[in-house]
Chain A
């Protein structure tokens, strides 16, 4: 049975540590192991950092919504922003160059999650879907 939890956060870099801590607690509830918890915290941090830096251009007063769903076998996190739509093809490049804005961060995200989707259709903004399974792929 799926159980969901949602937090709304301002795009203020000072809140990233709070978002990481909350993600870590929910990942623990989802039954992820310590290393996996650190990895999903990194993935969520990198997506939020990317939204703050590139979508919101460092405006700390915009909004992000993080939706956590406890899956039977792990944790799904959807992160929604309300900024200008990002071309999903840009984000889905297998290996972004390090000189590309956000390239390194997104490359790290791809390395630590089991499933990732960028730019799922929404009426406004962008949505990023991350999934981490208990005992998922070894990285």
Chain B
């Protein structure tokens, strides 16, 4: 799994690529916690290039959501594929996260 970050208009886009599981999710968590500690108002997690995500990845996103809410920030998910949307639905979290069809839409609506 690879993670890259880019600050755009005061928001940070965390682009994730590959498989997110027990082994790789700490790397994603590290980035999310890093930006949450900086109290970034908007975190957008771009999952467009994620091919697999399990409960470890979901738990990481939930933790990020909780961290950002603490200081009034927002965490949204952009471009989740069908299998990730299914996992979110099974976890009853599909209505908890703001989900966007594109990073551009996320930037427009969450900044």
Bound complex: CA of A69 vs CA of B2, how far in Å? 35
Answer yes or no: A112 CB below 8 A from chain B CBs. Answer: yes
- B62 / chain A contacts, CB cutoff of 8 Å: 98
A interface size (C-beta, 8 A): 21
Contact residue range for chain B?
10 to 19
B19 interface hit (Cβ, 8 Å): yes
Q: How far is the CA of A107 from the CA of B87 in the complex (A)?
A: 10
Chain A, residues 53-96, CB within 8 Å of chain B (1/0): the string is 10000000000000000000000000000000000000000000
Task: Please tell me if the beta carbons of B90 and A49 are within 8 angstroms of each other in the complex.
Answer: no
**What is the total of A-B residue contacts with beta carbons within 8 Å?**
45
For residues 91 through 130 of chain A, which have their beta carbon under 8 Å from a beta carbon of chain B? 98, 104-105, 107-108, 111-112
Nearest CB of chain B from residue A2's CB, rounded to whole Å: 29
**Which chain A positions have C-beta within 8 A of B59?**
104
Contact B54 A52, beta carbon cutoff 8 Å: no
Residues of B within 8 A of A45 (CB): 21, 54
Residue pair A42, B22 in contact (C-beta under 8 Å): no
Pair B90/A111 contact, Cβ less than 8 Å: yes
Quick check: B19 and A104 within 8 Å, CB to CB? no
- Which chain A residues have a beta carbon within 8 Å of chain B's beta carbons? 13-14, 16-17, 20, 38, 41-42, 45-46, 49, 52-53, 98, 104-105, 107-108, 111-112, 139
**Chain B: residues with CB nearer than 8 A to chain A?**
19, 21-23, 52, 54-56, 58-59, 62, 83, 87, 90-91
